[in-house]
Structure 1
Amino acid sequence: MPQLTDDAVTDGPGADGPRPERAGTWMSPQAYGASRAGLWAGAVVLVTDGDGRVLVQSVDYRPDRLLPGGAVDPGEAPSAAAAREMREELGIDGSYPRGLAVDWIPADTPGIPPEMRFPGEILHVYDGGTWTPERIDAVRLPAQEVTGIEFAEPADLPALMDPGDARRTLSALRARIDGAGPALLEDGRPTVPTALDRLGVLRTRRTPQHGAWRPGPVPAHLPVRDRSGWLFAPDGRVLLLIARATGAAHLPSPAAAPASGALPLGYRYADRAAHARTAARLTSVPPAADPAYARLLATPEQVRELSDWGPAGHHELAAVLAARAHLSLPVPARTPLTELPAEGTRW
């Protein structure tokens, strides 16, 4: 930043003789103010439902969907603008102190009318949390502007939204799941991508697993469609696989790594078959056998947020947390998902 000086100060001699030469760049306050870039400011709110779908709204002035939010008024804090816009657009009172992302939108963004003289924008994305059915039912739309809301599968956002809006929304959603703090974005792209960003998690539709949750072993008469393992590392996180080609997340097979203390956790019942779940303590992770998959450590809550488990998801998660306690493992803090090295790891 240039050093500022008063316009009244001149470079002529002073009362006590010649003034010393000034070091650096000197500017008057007026000149410095005129040199600064002017940008718009906006604030939007990311809300999900219990199935991890994102709230988007339809408006009467453009064909694509938007997150609720809008412009920051002169002298208004971005978080205050987010709360005001939610109240005006959805009839929902609340505060949104937790930021998920700050995005720089360039002035040459396609699709903006030239006569608008768009100078670029700094857009804040705030966390609106996960809404219950009761809170969703409380939405009251205004008489004009917002014509409807829907909850969209994350992978469907690029088809519903402007490309930059979709990138920003997915980046903010990954930042929320990751738990590393707000993401800094440039045109919707993280300046420091996380493992979830690098692997493109949520860019394809999640596989629905909406069967009823039933605890305990699979009955002998019931066919088993597949088996998955909640395999716990010593810090209480679990092993998660990400397909590099699609970004799809899923639990590994119970035999994916050496483990001890295995117990039948329960199963999903769907289409007259069982999708069995086992819990166990990892003793090590061997070298990667299939380069098509990345192996990450995640909290059970992060695994659920990356999955489409339907209404029974909270029952399975409760069983997982009980199994972790049974295995005498700690409760991990929400930290960024950690990609394991290809050579494996031992504890």
Structure 2
Amino acid sequence: MTANEMPTVATPRVAAGALFLDNEGRVLLVHPSYKEHWEIPGGYVEPGESPRAACIREIREELDLSPALGSMLVVDWAPAEHEGDKLLFIFNGGSLSPEQERDIRFADGELTEWRYVSAESLEGYVPRRLARRIRISIAALKNGTSSYAEHGSVV
């Protein structure tokens, strides 16, 4: 089989974010300056970069923090109509200390605000699919497992 005869393969966009929970179990959300909705900290993976490394880099760039990420909680296949296939990873960010919270700086100007939000209130901040993905991550963390999802729903 020649290069021209090779079948087309998926080339998904890959992004990674971190689930940070406070002592009350609320989720840390950030507000990007260029979006109407909120997100979890993280971003797109660059060529040659692992999802974990991208998540650490994005948090450092966006919040000026250097987290010690834990295990992968969920990977979600979540294609978007105008963006194509996506693979989205969420890693356990643990909890931030009061000192880390005070040290949050929006280093690159991408973010304008951060806050903790209860899992029950997520739909007021993030798209439904992300709210489902975050809840899957919370369940995986509680169960000591990881999950695979499609469109924000466990398969």
Tell me which interval the TM-score lies in, with the shorter structure as reference length.
over 0.9
2:151 aligns to what? 187
Counterpart in 1 of 2:37?
64
Measured after TM superposition, the shift of residue 50 of structure 1 is 1.1
Where do residues 3-14 of structure 1 align in structure 2 (5 Å cutoff)? Answer: none
Q: C-alpha deviations, 1:198-233, integer Å up to 9, x for none?
A: xxxxxxxxxxxxxxxxxxxxxxxxxxxxxxxxxxxx
Deviations 1:64-113 (CA, angstroms, capped at 9, x unpaired): 110011100011011000100010011001342510000000243xxxxx
Which amino acid counterpart does residue 93 of structure 1 have in structure 2? S
Q: What is the aligned counterpart of 2:131 among 158, 161, 166?
A: 166
Please state whether the residue corresponding to 1:35 is helix, strand or coil: coil
CA contact (8 A) 2:62 2:108 kept: no
Question: How many angstroms apart in 1 are the aligned matches of 2:10 and 2:85?
Answer: 9
Query: Residue 83 of structure 1: SS of its match in structure 2?
Result: helix
2:5 corresponds to 1:31: yes
Q: In 2, are the aligned partners of 1:158 and 1:167 still within 8 Å (CA)? A: no
Distance 1:51 1:97 in 2: 19
* 2:26 aligned residue (53, 59, 73): 53
Structure 1 position 130, deviation (Å): 1.6
Distance 1:127 1:97 in 2: 5
AA of the residue aligned to 2:2: S
2:47 paired with 1:74: yes
The residue aligned with 1:99 is 72
The structure that has the greater radius of gyration is 1
Percent identity, aligned pairs only, is: 31
Do residues 153 (structure 1) and 127 (structure 2) align?
no
Structure 2 Cα separation of the partners of residues 131 and 182 of structure 1 = 21
Report what 2:95 is aligned to.
130
Contact 2:64 2:105 in 1 (8 A): yes
3-state SS of paired residue (1:73):
coil
* Higher-RCO chain (CA-CA 8 Å, sequence separation at least 6): 2
Residues 12-54 of structure 1, C-alpha deviation per residue, up to 9 Å, x if partnerless?
xxxxxxxxxxxxxxx335532x511121111011101111110
1:218 aligns with: none
Equivalent pair of 2:70/2:93 in contact (CA under 8 Å): no
The total of aligned residue pairs comes to 155
C-alpha deviation, 1:142, in angstroms: 2.2
Tell me if the contact between 2:62 and 2:109 (Cα under 8 Å) persists in the aligned partners.
Answer: no
- Taking the aligned partners of 1:104 and 1:95, their CA distance within structure 2 comes to 25
After the TM superposition, which residues 289-308 of structure 1 pair with which residues of structure 2 at under 5 Å, given as runs? none
Deviation at 1:143, TM superposition (A): 4.8
Residue 135 of structure 1 deviates from its aligned partner by 1.8
Q: Which amino acid aligns with 2:146?
A: P
Does the Cα contact within 8 Å between 1:79 and 1:97 map onto a contact in 2?
Answer: no
Question: Over aligned residues, Cα RMSD in angstroms?
Answer: 1.4
Bigger helix fraction: 2
8 A Cα contact 2:72 2:146, kept in partner: yes
TM-score w.r.t. the length of structure 1 is: 0.43
Match among 85, 89, 97 for residue 62 of structure 2: 89
Residue 104 of structure 2 corresponds to which residue in structure 1? Answer: 139
Secondary structure of 2:87's match? Answer: strand
Give me the whole-angstrom Cα distance separating, in 1, the residues matched to 2:108 and 2:50. 26
TM-score (norm 2): 0.93
